[in-house]
């Protein structure tokens, strides 16, 4: 490869790098718009602007290399003539054998019905929540939680009169559970969803011991307040999903909302 070809290759790499930086910046800006927390959104926007500046620098480099970089390199490495080789003999094949019989593949039976598996959505931690982790993220694989029981009151050990259907108005909601084989210091997270939208969460290092009763998660001030709808609570230890509980909130118990 001569100097000119190398300059062209470097310019192409600069253009490709600029294109990839612009794509990454756009994705970062789009992701920032979906974030609820201002600090995380500002951080992603700052990263996007840095990527855009990098893309502009790469475009400038791609423009500078062919027009100004090549003459500058020739000042330090003057080009020298290179003899070109001329072939003296060109070999021409005399006979090309053509097969006379072409085998036709046999038919392969195709099933008339193809079963398509249905998708099962597995609970997962949003990236914005993972950014708040302060404890260990590797839980005891034998850690277990009982099913979550919901109530608007908690006596310190158990939810009072747990239900699965509640009526507005609501001030606070508690989700109680028992646990075993948990490891203190491992990050645990509770996510509260209404109709698939995150409205409340808590995440902190586990401080409830290795086993016992009276564990709970609380939501007192959900986003947009308590409204009628279907609610779901997901509990994680580290990045590992442990248990899910569901309940419904209605405007009036006598006229349920579909």
Give the pLDDT of residue 215. Answer: 92
Predicted pLDDT of residue 196 = 93
What's the pLDDT score for residue 148? 96
Task: Give the model's pLDDT for residue 5.
Answer: 79
Q: What is the model's pLDDT at position 119?
A: 43
Closest-CA residue to 226 (of 165, 170, 152):
170
pLDDT of residue 67: 78
**Predicted pLDDT of residue 198:** 95
Each residue's pLDDT tens digit in the chain (258 positions)? 677 777 788 888 888 988 898 888 888 888 877 777 777 878 888 888 888 898 898 888 888 877 777 677 766 666 665 555 555 556 665 555 565 555 555 555 554 444 444 444 789 999 999 999 988 989 999 999 999 999 999 998 899 999 999 999 999 999 999 999 999 999 999 999 999 999 999 999 999 889 999 899 999 989 999 999 999 999 999 999 999 999 999 987 655 555
Q: In CATH, what number does 133-250 get?
A: 2.60.40.2550
At residue 165, the pLDDT reads 96
C-alpha to C-alpha distance for 12 and 80, rounded to whole angstroms:
25
Contacts of 58 (CB under 8 A, 6+ apart): 14, 15, 17, 18, 21
- Alpha-carbon span 117 to 120, nearest angstrom: 9
pTM of the model: 0.53
| pLDDT value of position 9 | 84
- Could you tell me the residue ranges of all domains in the chain? 3-76, 133-250
Whole-number Å distance between alpha carbons of 37 and 225: 18
């Amino acid at each position: 490869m001569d100097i000119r070809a190398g300059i062209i290759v470097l310019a192409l790499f600069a253009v490709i790098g600029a294109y990839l930086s612009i794509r990454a910046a756009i994705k970062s800006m789009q992701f920032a718009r979906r974030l609820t927390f201002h600090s995380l959104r500002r951080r992603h926007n700052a990263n996007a602007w840095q990527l855009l500046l990098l893309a502009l620098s790469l475009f400038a480099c791609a423009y500078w290399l062919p027009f100004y970089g090549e003459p500058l390199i020739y000042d330090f490495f003057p080009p020298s003539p290179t003899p070109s080789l001329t072939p003296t003999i060109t070999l021409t094949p005399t006979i090309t054998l053509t097969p006379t019989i072409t085998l036709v593949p046999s038919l392969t039976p195709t099933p008339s019905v193809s079963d398509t598996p249905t998708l099962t959505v597995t609970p997962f931690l949003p990236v914005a929540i993972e950014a708040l982790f302060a404890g260990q993220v590797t839980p005891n694989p034998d850690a277990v939680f009982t099913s979550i029981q919901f109530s608007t009151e908690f006596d310190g050990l158990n939810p009072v009169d747990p239900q699965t259907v509640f009526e507005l108005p609501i001030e606070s909601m508690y989700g109680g559970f028992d646990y075993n084989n948990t490891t203190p210091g491992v990050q645990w997270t509770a996510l509260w969803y209404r109709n698939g939208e995150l409205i409340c969460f808590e995440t902190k290092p586990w401080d409830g011991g290795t086993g016992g009763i009276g564990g709970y998660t609380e939501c007192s001030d959900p986003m947009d307040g308590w409204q009628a709808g279907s609610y779901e609570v997901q509990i994680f230890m580290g990045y590992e999903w442990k248990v899910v509980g569901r309940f419904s909130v209605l405007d009036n118990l006598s006229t349920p909302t579909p």
